[in-house]
Copies of this chain bind each other. A is one copy, B any other.
Amino acid sequence: MGLIVQKYGGTSVGSLERIQRVAGKIAQRYREGNRIAVVVSAMSGETDRLINLAKNLSPKPDSREMDVLVSTGEQVSVSLLAMALKDLGVPARSLLGHQICIYTDKSHTKARIHQIETGKIQQVLESGEVAVVAGFQGITEEKDITTLGRGGSDTSAVALAAVLKADVCEIYTDVDGVYTCDPNICSKARRLDRISYDEMLEMASLGAKVLQTRSVEFGKKYNVPILVKSTFTDEGGTLTTAEDEDMEKEVVSGITYDRNEARITLLGVQDRPGIAATVFSALADENINVDMIIQNSSADGKFADLSFTVTKTDSERALEIVRGKASILGARDVVGDTAIAKLSIVGVGMRSHAGVAARMFESLSQVGINIIMISTSEIKVSCVIDEKFLELGVRVLHDAFKLDEPGNSLEKN
């Protein structure tokens, strides 16, 4: 018995039958004596359908109105789920962003939650009803509707769990947890029972699409245990929590990859202050996010090569912008490369274990994979490699760090 926040993604409520099945799962937990708030996404495909309506109408749809439009997706699914719960005899009530008062900033289509009022939802929970909350949406102080960006319902759920001081936030999706690597690439992939917030943050931002990064930040900040489980089986699940001693025994927890990056290199730019600022301010002005940045000076210190990565979607535009600045920077040439991929290892154990990066580089080189760029943080090492070696690289690293065995450590080798 406790206070549980659950979140069901678009696939989980993708049809009327699935909504009824989800209602059945909730009813069971409710009858066990739990108080339950459920956060629901739009039925799968619905958000895209609405976005396409707008794109077919308008060359550049107004972002305030876009939020009014797409937020209807969640409104439909909460009403249907509440109906289905009532049909099972479970008292339930749908609640929209403006009814609970989930306040966000004014950044339409990618708003951030500022504050959630708990009065209304507490009242619903205390009256014995299941609160069925529309994910992904909030309101500004002026009562304008906002949305939280792709995957925003994860953030709605974790933020709600935080303010309600819930015992757990359960994220139901179409996979049964977080794996050591993508099971579609590596058959030895193993589901992790537990993972730390920091590891999950790195995994999420490095390309593992299980949770929205922002939701993990909320989880970490407010110490909300986040359980990722499959809607369709009762088995498995991965719990994201604060670090503990057990976790540190694992040197590497997982391997992630991202195919959606492209590299741009300025060859032979003058090696003087202000070069990087000129390039990256110009990109920032166009709202282009840069991921990795590397600069190598030549031996004589006069010229340098500057490389960085952006998403493949932004790469054409980024190339144009940088080429426009090339003459000012005195660059010899600007070249782009989209046939790359980023391969990363993540693990809190790295902090206390030397030689992790070295083992990664060595393992890749043993199978002839050239490393194009490297970037590191306290708990991750990322390498940009030729895209065609990506699957090979994932499998080689999975073996090298013995990720198929729980409790792997360098000492064992």
Q: Are B79 and A65 in contact (CB under 8 A)?
A: yes
* Given A19-B57, A75-B75, A68-B87 contact (CB < 8 Å): no
Give the residues in chain B near A287, CB-CB below 8 Å. none
Q: A75, A83, A143: which has the most chain B beta carbons within 10 Å? A: A83
- Which residues of chain B come closer than 8 Å to A96, judged between CB atoms? 68, 145
Q: Which of B50, B53, B61, B83 touches A54 (beta carbons < 8 Å)?
A: B83
- CB-CB < 8 A to A72: which residues of B? 72, 75-76
**Residues in B whose Cβ lies below 8 Å from that of A80:** 53-54, 57, 65, 69
A16 touches B (CB below 8 Å): yes
With the chains together, A64 CA to B33 CA distance in Å?
25
What residues of B have a CB within 8 angstroms of the CB of A143 in the complex?
98-99
> Residue A82 at the B interface, CB < 8 A?
yes
Chain B residues whose CB sits within 8 angstroms of the CB of A84 once the complex forms:
57-58
Q: Which B residues are CB-close (under 8 A) to A345?
A: none
Cα–Cα distance between A42 and B65 once the two chains are bound (Å): 16
How far does the alpha carbon of A87 sit from the alpha carbon of B56 in the complex, in Å? Answer: 13
**A98 neighbours in B (Cβ, 8 Å):** 98, 143
Nearest-CB distance from A177 to chain B (Å)? 30
Is the beta-carbon distance between A68 and B62 smaller than 8 angstroms?
no
Bits for A95-121, please: 1 = Cβ < 8 Å to B, else 0. 010110000000000000000000000
Of the candidates B62, B64, B71, B75, the one whose C-beta lies within 8 Å of that of A69 is: B75
Bound-state CA distance A19–B58 (Å) is 11
User: Once the chains bind, are A57 and B99 in contact (CB under 8 Å)?
Assistant: no
Query: Among A71, A79, A87, which residue has the most Cβ atoms of chain B within 10 A?
Result: A79
Complexed CA–CA distance, A72 and B71 (Å)? 9
**At the interface, yes or no: A301 with Cβ under 8 Å from chain B?**
no
A164 to chain B, nearest CB (A): 19
- Given the complex of chains A and B, what is the CA–CA distance between A412 and B407 in angstroms? 104
Task: For A58, give the chain B residue with the smallest CB separation.
Answer: B83
Q: Is B78 a contact partner of A68 (Cβ separation < 8 A)?
A: yes
CA gap between A61 and B68 in the complex, in Å: 25
A46 to nearest B CB, angstroms? Answer: 10
Residues on B with C-beta less than 8 A from A144 are 99
Distance in angstroms from A355 CB to nearest chain B CB is 56
Give the top 3 A-B pairs by smallest Cβ distance, nearest first: A72-B72, A68-B79, A69-B79
28 contacts between A and B (CB under 8 A): A16-B53, A16-B56, A19-B57, A20-B57, A53-B76, A54-B79, A54-B80, A54-B83, A57-B83, A57-B84, A58-B87, A59-B87, A61-B83, A62-B83, A64-B94, A65-B83, A65-B86, A66-B79, A68-B75, A68-B78, A68-B94, A68-B96, A69-B76, A72-B75, A72-B76, A75-B75, A98-B98, A99-B144
Given A16-B56, A19-B57, A64-B93, 5 new contacts (CB under 8 A): A16-B53, A58-B87, A69-B75, A69-B80, A96-B145
